[in-house]
Chain A
Amino acid sequence: MEQIVKTIFPFVVIGVAVFLAFQGVLMIVAYTVLAERKILGWIQGRIGPNRVGPWGLFQPFADLFKFIFKEELAPDESTKVIFYLAPLVALTCALMPIIVYPFGPEIKGSFDFLPYGLGEGITSLPLTIAQMDVGVLYVLAITSVGVYGIALAGWSSNSKYSLMGGLRSSAQLISYELAMGASVIGVVMLAGSLNLSEIINAQINSPFKWFIIPQFIGFIVFMIAAFAETNRVPFDLPEAETELVAGFHTEYSGLKFALFFMAEYVNMFTVSVMCVTLFLGGWYIPGLDLLARTIGMEWLFGAGTIGYAVVSHVGFLTKIFAFLFFYIWVRGTLPRFRFDQLMNFGWKFLLPVSLANVILTVIVVFILNR
């Protein structure tokens, strides 16, 4: 019995962690959609959804049930297997980066209270599902595979609007991926690691606390590329309503459309997490442990305690919500680029700037480490 429990225990812990993380992210994503509709409404002098529940708070669930009960349609001329595969690819690739998100600091302490001696030798509980040594590259790789969802959807629908949307989107994603990757290199060089938790620790130990100060150019490039990577305004050409109906998901309906919709918002969440982790110190709130020490409340929220983890986690979420709000704000403010403008901007401005930033960082790091 004891042996069985000891064998199963790690799987149970990881299972619970995965469940909590995915459930949490999906709930946040559902309410991002509601927030987007509300805030866009306010920007445009409307009220926004307010019928379902107080303040329209149950709107996401109403939308979900509507999507589930809608009729599933697939065009006669479509390539069925790929038509059904594409939304799955899009959502899977959007969800997979969740396992490396650093949700908060380690909780230090003894876990001896667990029965059967399960807590033996465990001194800390990391708030990350997988401590991957190549976390940054992993996120970039998975998001680059996400292009297939869009490209295959556009091709398999066998409709000119879908095909044009799919082509535009894959061209855009490939172009801006380069600038995004190059803007991350500066941070990786300063941190000396590709592990997301290590990058946060490097920021805590650096004199600037947040890498946005030494890597401001990288931050700006990353932000712009992030807008393009998630197909958001002002780079939402793949689904430009006025010219392409709805772009690559024109022919999709019901739950398949909902999967694309969810994938887009999960991707928004992912780039926000990456931006916060790489440039804004992740969960780290400068001066929090110092404050705890000064007012003598170290037992409650000093570094390593549960209280510290909770406050840091709330800080992490606050930074992400700020980014999500910025996304919505930009959507309510800016007009759309033209496609040639988009390509010129990506290749002739963003990429050279990010490469210059890399070279500048190399020189500075070399001089400082000499």
Chain B
Amino acid sequence: MVTVLFYILAGLAIACAISCVYHKNPLFSAVSLIGVFISLACIYLTLSAPFIAVTQILVYAGAIMVLVIFVIMLLNLDEDSPHTNLAYLYGFGGGLGVLLIGQALFVFYAVNRAGQKSVESTAAGQTSSIGKAMYTEYLLPVEIVGILLLMAIVGAMIMSRRLREPSVAASSEE
């Protein structure tokens, strides 16, 4: 049952990912990416990690992709046409892809050699255990990430203010 579900969801995720990369319309790509996130969240659910699944939807599908779609809607982008002057990037991307597939295969190989070690403890996915781990064992990384996000917010505010000032000055000159 769970295996069948896994194959359906994994297939869905891969199909959405391929359509995300290959679609010429940026909005279709963004919608496909949301599909990837939701399929991944469902896979987390079948692995009895409901908190991570919900967080995946809340953060990636609910917040980040909304901003991406917002930008696409505001910019009113045309369909992508292939840039002929960037042809060398195809080789670069292909190389990276081969590297990633190699890494995935290596992980499969290593896991198979080490023998099946299934993670049975369902407590790892529960909210309270994640909270405890975040604020005891991994407190320093959490705080560093917090400071990083704060810096990003302050930076974004400064950037948007600086962009606005010349236009205000221009309008007052008129």
Contacts and interface: CB of A to CB of B under 8 A. Distances in A.
Interface stretch (A116-124, A134-142, A324-332): A134-142
A65 B25 CA distance: 37
B73 interface: yes
Interface stretch (A52-60, A104-112, A150-158, A305-313): A150-158
A259 B28 CA distance: 22
A359 B66 CA distance: 28
B6 interface: no
B147 to A, nearest CB: 18
Interface size class of B (residues with CB under 8 A): 20 to 34
Contacts of B63: 144, 174
A133 interface: yes
B73 A134 contact: no
A137 B55 contact: yes
B62 A151 contact: no
A90 B28 CA distance: 17
A147 B54 contact: no
Nearest to B67: A174
Nearest to B52: A134
Contacts of B40: none
Given A137-B54, A141-B58, A163 B73 contact: yes
Contacts of B31: 82, 85, 148, 152
B66 A174 contact: yes
Interface string B41-69: 00000000011001101100111001101
A151 B70 contact: yes
Contacts of A81: 28
A198 to B, nearest CB: 11
A169 to B, nearest CB: 11
A155 B54 contact: no
A91 interface: no
B55 A144 contact: no
A20 to B, nearest CB: 24
Contact of A167 (B58, B67, B70, B126): B70
Interface in A138-189: 138, 140-142, 144-145, 147-148, 151-152, 154-155, 163, 166-167, 170-171, 174, 177
A174 B38 CA distance: 19
Interface size class of A (residues with CB under 8 A): 20 to 34
Among the interface residues A138, A141, A174, A194, which one has the most CB atoms of the partner chain B within 10 A? Answer: A141
Among the interface residues B34, B61, B66, B126, which one has the most CB atoms of the partner chain A within 10 A? Answer: B66
A317 interface: no
A167 B75 CA distance: 12
A79 B38 CA distance: 23
B27 interface: yes
A158 to B, nearest CB: 10
Contact of A137 (B28, B58, B69): B58
B127 A194 contact: yes
A279 B142 CA distance: 31
B54 A141 contact: yes
B127 A148 contact: no
Nearest to B56: A141
Contact of B73 (A137, A138, A166, A177): A166
A63 B106 CA distance: 60
Contacts of B69: 148, 151-152, 155, 170
Given A147-B66, A155-B73, A167-B73, A133 B57 contact: no
A145 B62 contact: yes
A132 interface: yes
Contacts of A147: 62, 66
Interface string B69-81: 1101110000000
A177 B34 CA distance: 19
A134 B62 contact: no
Nearest to B59: A141
B54 A79 contact: no
B24 to A, nearest CB: 12
Contacts of A132: 50
Contact of B66 (A79, A85, A138, A151): A151
B61 A134 contact: no
3 closest A-B pairs (Cβ-Cβ)?
Answer: A144-B62, A141-B58, A141-B57
13 contacts: A79-B27, A82-B31, A134-B127, A141-B54, A145-B34, A145-B38, A145-B62, A147-B62, A155-B73, A170-B69, A170-B70, A174-B63, A174-B66
Given A134-B50, A148-B69, 11 more contacts: A132-B50, A133-B126, A134-B51, A134-B54, A141-B58, A141-B61, A145-B38, A145-B62, A147-B66, A163-B73, A167-B70
